[in-house]
Amino acid sequence: MTDTEKNQDQAQPLVSHLTELRDRLLRCVLAILVVFFSLFYFANDIYYFVSEPLRVLLPEGTSMIATEVASPFLTPFKLTLVASLILAMPIILYQVWGFIAPGMYRSEKRIAIPLLASSIVLFYAGLAFAYYVVFPLIFGFFSGVGPEGVAYTPDIARFLDIVLKLFFAFGVAFEIPIATILLIWAGITTPETLSEKRPYIVVGCFVFGMLLTPPDIISQALLALPMWLLFEFGVFFGRFIHPREDEKTT
């Protein structure tokens, strides 16, 4: 076999992988677009639902405002696009799994599938926690601390920026058990080591809570405390996980 033929044989698997990657990326984009166009007609209703925790706390006779010309259209549009990405997440993760699964051992698949399913559930749980628990508390705080004579009329675009930031922060924070278990399974650390570093973890949770939330102590604490509890949750279940190098792959 000539060098040219060897190079062609080596290039074929790479080309096939790139082709598969392209196809799966296109399926992800198509899934997002399908969900988006299905939801776009209800864009204003979606914004109405998301903004309800704030609207119910507004003083009587006041409402949210739009300070930019295009905000009444662009703000619900942006929210619908983000909602489409979130709702299409199971399909996106399925495509990711389909791409990487052929290169995994059977023992790796046995733990990867439950972790993948759990990551989706935990991400949605983080969003629900933010909406039903965090939003009423922090918006109640914001609406009640203003000085006398100042009308509290939040801008719809600024409100959406805060909401998306909180959704992202809590969605990612609720993935901590998955990240903890993966670190233990990969042999990078152990439950005992993580337990010894608990004081640093707690401080780190509050630092991340400060960086990922609006500058108020309520939202920071509401993010930091669940992060710490989820870390403990991951350490507990990590004790039942055997490190990857100790497993026999088939």
**pLDDT tens per residue across span 156-199:** 999 999 899 889 888 888 888 888 888 888 778 888 888 888 88
* The two structure tokens encoding residue 173: 């924070």
Lookup result for tokens 């790139």: 18
DSSP string, 32-91: HHHHHHHHGGGHHHHHHHHTHHHHTTSPTT---B--STTHHHHHHHHHHHHHHHHHTHHH
**pLDDT tens per residue across span 72-97:** 999 999 999 999 999 998 898 888 88
- Residue 193's CB is within 10 A of a number of other CB atoms, namely 12
Residue 155, classed as helix, strand or coil, is strand
Which pLDDT score is estimated for 248? 44
* The two structure tokens encoding residue 166: 């909180």
Lookup result for tokens 């698997």: 13
* The two structure tokens encoding residue 233: 């949750």
> N- to C-terminal Cα distance for the chain?
32
In the chain, domain spans? 10-239
Among 41-45, 63-67, 143-147, 227-231, the range of highest mean pLDDT: 41-45
Buried b (16+ CB within 10 A) or exposed e, 148-159: eeeeeebebbeb
Residue 12 bridge partners (DSSP): none
- Residue 128's CB is within 10 A of a number of other CB atoms, namely 13
Q: Model's pTM, two decimal places? A: 0.82
* The two structure tokens encoding residue 170: 């809590």
Distances in Å between the Cα of 83 and the Cα atoms of 51, 78, 147 are 14, 9, 35
